[in-house]
Structures are given as structure tokens and as C-alpha cells.
Amino acid sequence: MKASANMQADQMERFAKFLEEHPGFTPLLQGEEAVIFGFQTGDCFLTLSEMDRLIAAEPHFDAQQSALLMARVARRAE
């Protein structure tokens, strides 16, 4: 296994927000210090770098953008 990499504060914040919104992702820990070496979701294992790419690819909207997007979707459904 590769040596662990340190996470920056902003990266930890993005991971925490993502995990709060997607509780199906479970961190996998290694060693006595419980270093996170990946995440499990269902039968799928993702490394930290794969999780970082997944989180970066996820669309991010602020509250106003989300409200506008949802309003457009609701109008189309009518």
C-alpha cells in the first residue's frame, strides 16, 4: 500500500460535506492511528484520490442556484 498523504483543511471540509450528503460512503481505516485509506460504498472501493475526483466532478450549487434549478424542473413537470 502507498504511504498515506496528508489532507489539506479545505479538502477535509469537502469530504465532510460530501459524506454528510451521501451517508452510504463508509471510510476505511488502517493502523493504530486510524488513517483513512479509502471509502466503501456497497461493493465498490474508492481510494482517496478517486474520492477526490468524484467530489470535484459533482455539481455544486449555492442555495439560490438550487432554488432556480428546482423551480425550472417543477415548471417542466406541470
Tens digits of per-residue pLDDT, 45-69?
Answer: 999 888 888 888 876 666 676 666 6
pLDDT of the residue at 22 = 83
pLDDT > 70 fraction of the chain, expressed in percent and rounded: 64
Position 3 in a domain:
no
Residue 57 domain flag: yes
Number of domains in the chain: 1
Inside any domain, residue 41: yes
Given a cut of 60, whether residue 3 has pLDDT beyond it is: no
Mention every residue, 6+ apart, whose C-beta is less than 8 A from residue 60. none
28 in a structural domain: yes
pLDDT of residue 21: 84
Residue 1 belongs to a domain = no
The H or E element containing residue 41 is strand 35-41
Choose the weakest-confidence range: 1-5, 36-40, 53-57, 73-77: 1-5
Range of the domain at 51: 9-77
